[in-house]
Amino acid sequence: MKEQLELSRPWRRLFPSPLPLVLILFVILTGFRAYGYFGREFFHGTSVMIGFVLMWFVPLVFLTRYGREQIGFRRSISWKWMLYGILLGGAAAAICYLLGVLLYGKSDQNWFVSVAYTFQSDERIAQLPRHLAFIAFTVPAMLASPIGEEIFFRGVAEQAGRDRMSPVSCACFAATLFALAHLIHHGIHSGLNGIEIMPVSGTIWFILIFASSLVFSLVRQKGGSIWTAVFAHATFNLVMNITIFYSLLVTDPKTI
């Protein structure tokens, strides 16, 4: 028998189905990310980080203890799938990098170059030597976003429709939201010439992030824990940042 994601009592009264709640939270949380990239420069990193941290608390605010177990907060972890997740997450990032370079080289149509531009736009980080800038961006990228996004997308969003959709449909629903949020990084993003829309490379980026999301869903389901997906996502971000700082950024950040 399919079980509905168990919301805490006050929210259950407002939302008999958790799906509308997920969509409302998606708009709010993605709004923090969008404001961080398109809003005032001072809030660039702060707003994005706030959005990630708020994702951490979604299960505590909206779910019962059993609901948190439903999304993968369990003590038992498959260490085999933890290892698979790390390998698959790194492989997904490597594929994104190689395809971007193959199709677009180091032009601004390359999705990882768009991400690199956001790194360069922070003048405080730009003054650091390359290895220190790498650490400054990579540590938060391996903690804040993987934990927050996996809790929300692979946890809450994916489980919200399990009472009415198949596991594959639920994974695709969460993957669609995940990929839409990442269009802010490339596809519809703040570039050198202001707000830029890149329909072709943005569509390819959407597909790559959608596919990566399905990888994270696979290791979460097979591993029986949200933490297998978190480690896969963290490894994706680690490999992405390695390629950005040591391949795509040909100029040392402190000289930009």
Q: What is the residue whose two structure tokens read 């909206």? A: 62
Asked whether residue 111 is domain-assigned, the answer is yes
Domain that holds residue 234: 9-255
Does residue 4 sit within a domain? Answer: no
Q: Which candidate, 137, 148, 145, 154, places its Cα nearest to that of 225?
A: 154
Length of the chain: 256
Gap between the terminal Cα atoms of the chain: 58
CB atoms within 10 A of CB 101: 17
* Phi, psi (rounded to 5 degrees) for 7: -80, 155
Residue 72 Rama label (left phi>0; alpha psi -120 to 50; beta) = left
Report the alpha-carbon distance of residue 192 to residue 44 in Å, rounded.
Answer: 15
The closest of 241, 253, 242, 232 to 89, measured between CA atoms, is 232
Residue 142: inside a domain, yes or no? Answer: yes
Number of domains, the chain: 1
Q: What is the pLDDT of residue 256?
A: 46
Q: Which helix (H) or strand (E) holds 248?
A: none
Residue 136 resides in a domain: yes
Characterise 118 by phi-psi region: left (phi > 0), alpha (psi -120 to 50), beta (else).
Answer: alpha
Local confidence pLDDT in tens for the 256 residues of the chain: 578 999 999 999 999 999 999 999 999 999 999 888 876 554 457 888 999 999 999 999 999 999 999 999 987 888 999 999 999 999 999 999 999 999 999 998 999 998 888 777 666 666 778 888 899 889 999 999 999 999 999 999 999 998 889 999 999 999 999 999 999 999 987 656 667 789 999 999 999 999 999 999 999 999 999 999 999 999 999 999 999 999 987 555 555 4
Asked if residue 2 belongs to a domain, the reply is no
Q: Residue 243 corresponds to which amino acid?
A: T
**Whose CA is closest to 73, among 8, 15, 159, 133?**
159
Answer yes or no: are the C-beta atoms of 13 and 74 closer than 8 Å. Answer: no
What pLDDT was estimated at residue 236? 98
Amino acid at site 256? I
How far does Cα 172 stand from its chain's mean position? 15
**b/e map 185-211, b = 16+ CB within 10 Å:** bbbbbbbeeeebebeebbebbbebbbe
Q: Cα separation of 65 and 55, whole Å?
A: 17
